[in-house]
Amino acid sequence: MPDRIGVYPGTFDPITNGHLDIITRATRAVDHLIVAVAANAGKGPLFTLEERVAMAQDEIDALQLSNAARIEVRPFDSLLVHFAKAAGANIIVRGLRAVSDFEYEFQMAGMNARLSPEIETVFLMASERCQFISSRFVKEIGRLNGDITSFVSPRIRKRLADRFAMRKAAES
């Protein structure tokens, strides 16, 4: 049986405990998981692509997974299905937090299936403790000096604090 190779795409700006939950659970369904960090300049990320790749790699290195799935982090700046094909992937993993995510994800899965019918999209529901976590909210709460302890690791919390301090200093 060939390896089941999955791609879990995202901007990961920054990577949160919700992302790590999906990554951990996705490793139970695939033999090799590629965490694909999208360049996505249109979203105006807080961190550069290189920083986001490094943060994702640091967080994955800190995971202590008991299964044998291999995880790697790669940047990409192309159509997701083109990236997945080039990586030899046959599964795209997407996380769903709420019903509001479903409409967008449903449309995207349909478009991807039309473009590459050999690649399946698999949806994982966010765990109960992660359903409300989003990078956008984490950044906003962190920027306003709110407590983001339960949403991101201490490493990410420090990177966010440093970035906000740097921006504040630049504005002064």
Which of these, 66, 75, 60, lies nearest to 9 by C-alpha position? 75
Q: Which of 4, 25, 97, 143 is catalytic?
A: 97
Annotated catalytic residue 134: no
Does residue 107 form part of some domain? yes
pLDDT in tens, 30-59: 999 999 999 987 778 999 999 999 999 999
Does residue 171 form part of some domain? no
pLDDT for residue 85: 97
54: CATH: 3.40.50.620
pLDDT for residue 131: 85
Does residue 11 form part of some domain? yes
Per the structure block, which two tokens stand in for 23?
């990554």
Annotated catalytic residue 32: no
- Tell which wins on pLDDT, 37 or 100: 37
Does residue 137 form part of some domain? no
Annotated catalytic residue 159: no
Does residue 32 form part of some domain? yes
Does residue 139 form part of some domain? no
Q: How far apart are CA 92 and CA 111, in angstroms?
A: 13
Q: For the whole model, what pTM was predicted?
A: 0.92
Three-state DSSP state, 80: helix
Dump the DSSP string for 14-38.
T--HHHHHHHHHHTTT-SEEEEEEE
Annotated catalytic residue 66: no
Does residue 164 form part of some domain? no
**Domain with 90 in it:** 5-131
Say how many domains are in the chain.
1
CA distances for 168 relative to 146, 156, 164, angstroms? 16, 18, 6
Does residue 154 form part of some domain? no
Q: Which of 28, 43, 82, 168 is catalytic?
A: 43
Q: Which of 52, 116, 135, 139 is catalytic?
A: 135
